[in-house]
Structure 1
Amino acid sequence: MECLSADGLNAHDWDELENKYYRAMEKHKEAEVVLQNHTSELLEIFMVWSQTTIRRDETRALKRFKTQMQHVQHSEESLKNKKKHYIDVVRAFENALALLDDRV
């Protein structure tokens, strides 16, 4: 661009400069809209991915909980059976001792 004097500035086509400015801004606006749309699409994909991950984690947590509950129930049942067995063994010994006492 050449060096302009005060007279050159007055003679400059300011309307053309303004039109160039508006055209350039319009191009930037269009590019911004494209970027906004692309960002929105990526955010939607991220949200779907995020929800999928949350659901998968919830499903896994539920399976872990069910497994833990089964383990606890099995342990309680096993303990109950052991207690019954020990009670039966003690009764058998008591009965055996009672029989021995009756013989003596």
Structure 2
Amino acid sequence: MSTQLTSESSLPLTIAVDLFRSSPPLPMDHKHPQSEPPASGQRESVSTRRASSADTERPPSAQRVNMEADAEDANDNDIERVDSNDDPAEQIDGIDWRDLEERYHKAMGKCNANEAALLEEWRNLMEFFHIWAAEGHAHETDRTFRRLRTRVTHVQNSEAQLEATRLHYINVVKAFESALALLNQVNG
């Protein structure tokens, strides 16, 4: 099926529209849905109304917070609005270009001030991070040096014990050798 619509232009606007029949939603307590097609030539009269965005409330996360931005948007809409009843032969009202430039510079000043504040905050945070990183590095360096000294002391103690054990075994061997020499002299 196609429908012919007319717009403000003299050319007809043709849109192809396909109508699909669907059954209305069933109540929740309905246990066994049985759908019967309507008799031929018979149309169902179902009134369906879709909720508009004005009927629903926005969640808090989607609501606008900045009222100043809303006021600026309203001013922009006033400038962009074009009245279709205006006569093209009439001269268009002049625009105060100096005011536009002043508003531009004022808005850019606000943006620059916000950017400068953000950059200052960034500098402070980076300085804090640098101090934190340097302190962490110094602490880690000190900790690893103490760990190195502990390991060196442990190895030095192990070496001293090994040397003492070696000297003890040398003395034991010398004692056995002297005892064996004495035993050979006595038996000999």
| TM category, shorter | over 0.9
Q: Show structure 1 runs of 5+ residues with no match.
A: none
Counterpart for residue 49 of structure 1: 132
Which residue of structure 2 aligns with residue 83 of structure 1?
A: 166
Write out per-residue CA displacement over residues 50-80 of structure 1, whole angstroms, 9 at most, x where no aligned residue: 0100000000011011001101100110010
Between the aligned partners of 1:23 and 1:17, the Cα distance in structure 2 is: 10
* Higher strand proportion: 2
> Superposition RMSD on alpha carbons, in Å?
1.6
**How far apart are 1:7 and its partner, in Å?**
3.9
Residue of structure 2 in register with 1:102 after alignment: 185
Q: Deviations over 1:5-56 (max 9, x none)?
A: 7943x61111111110110000101111111111110011000000100000
Identity of aligned pairs, percent? 35
Contiguous gaps of at least 5 residues in structure 2? 1-77
How many residue pairs align between the two structures?
Answer: 103
- The partner residue of 1:3 within 62, 82, 85 is 82
SS in 2 for 1:11: coil
Structure 2 residue 108 is the aligned partner of structure 1 residue 25: yes
One-letter amino acid of the structure 2 residue matched with residue 41 of structure 1: N
> Whose RCO is larger (CA < 8 A, sep 6+)?
2
Q: 1:41 to 1:100 in 2, by over 3 A?
A: same
How far apart, CA to CA, are the structure 2 residues paired with 1:7 and 1:97? 135
Q: Taking structure 1 as reference, are residues 94 and 7 closer, same or farther at Cα in structure 2, changes over 3 Å only?
A: farther
Letter of the 1:46 partner, please give it: F
The match for 2:37 is: none
Runs in 1 of length 4+ with deviation above 2 angstroms? 4-8
Question: How many angstroms apart in 2 are the aligned matches of 1:85 and 1:77?
Answer: 12
